[in-house]
Amino acid sequence: MYSHSAGAADLSRVPAAVFEPTFVTTEGDLRAGKVFAATLPACKDALLVSALHLFGPSGGMKKQSSGSQIAALVTNISLDDIAGKVSIEKFRARSLTPDKASCCTDKADTGAGDIAAFAAPEELRGLALRVATRPVKKGDKVFVISSIASPAVTRLSHAAIAEGMESGYWLYTYLEPGFVVRATSGAPVVNEAGEVVAINLGGATSKTGKMMGYGNPAVNWSAALASMCQRSAGD
């Protein structure tokens, strides 16, 4: 049974919006990372948001796909929520990935950064997370919402402290000893109000032995994603 980490923030409803996806692609099924349901004021429908680098060698594919290639690559999606309660059967994929999206190894200073996005099924609208309008500041407490690849850890919310920006991405230090970053790419990073402030992309152990994470902040991609919604609505 999964649980939530203790703390002042009540994030008990957030994990219901986070899923382990299966992407049906023209190159075969891809099971990697996480996706989450989100809403933006400019978007009529809910969105599914994840990380673009999953559609490349990091996710088990032969080569990295660009943002503009996702629409032709991904044909269908199915979802299993991280709490193990809800499964959504295969539905047709409609990519809303910004053309300016880039892989996590690229700087995000001038583009949308590492993001992939799709139209979400109607039933997810009530679960979708709001995207924060206030950016993260250094010292803010944030939470990565994800199941992790460790049977000993059942928490779904993992606290961290925002440390600062590097090449357009936020760095944060996990407060949880022994945190395992594998399979958390694409998970939402939320503030204490449960609003999305970034897309989790991965992490590494620092020279001091602390586990560091890094994420693509909403300020990089929210406007580009809103533009994709408006373009899609006009088609």
Judged by DSSP in three states, 173 sits in strand
Whether the Cβ atoms of residue 170 and residue 162 lie closer than 8 Å to each other: yes
Judged by DSSP in three states, 122 sits in helix
Give residue-wise pLDDT tens across range 91-115: 999 999 998 898 865 554 558 999 9
Give residue-wise pLDDT tens across range 14-36: 999 999 999 999 999 999 999 99
Judged by DSSP in three states, 164 sits in strand
Give residue-wise pLDDT tens across range 126-177: 999 999 998 899 999 999 999 887 665 678 999 999 999 988 899 999 998 7
40-56: average pLDDT = 93
Per-residue pLDDT band for 84 (boundaries 50, 70, 90) equals confident
| Entry pTM | 0.91
Whether the Cβ atoms of residue 35 and residue 196 lie closer than 8 Å to each other: no
Give residue-wise pLDDT tens across range 1-11: 334 443 446 78
Nearest to 229 by CA among 26, 65, 38, 18: 38
CA–CA distance, 140 with 20 (Å, rounded to integer): 27
CA–CA distance, 97 with 178 (Å, rounded to integer): 33
Whether the Cβ atoms of residue 190 and residue 143 lie closer than 8 Å to each other: yes
- CA distances (Å), 150 to each of 5, 154, 180, in order? 15, 8, 7
Nearest to 188 by CA among 22, 47, 14, 29: 14
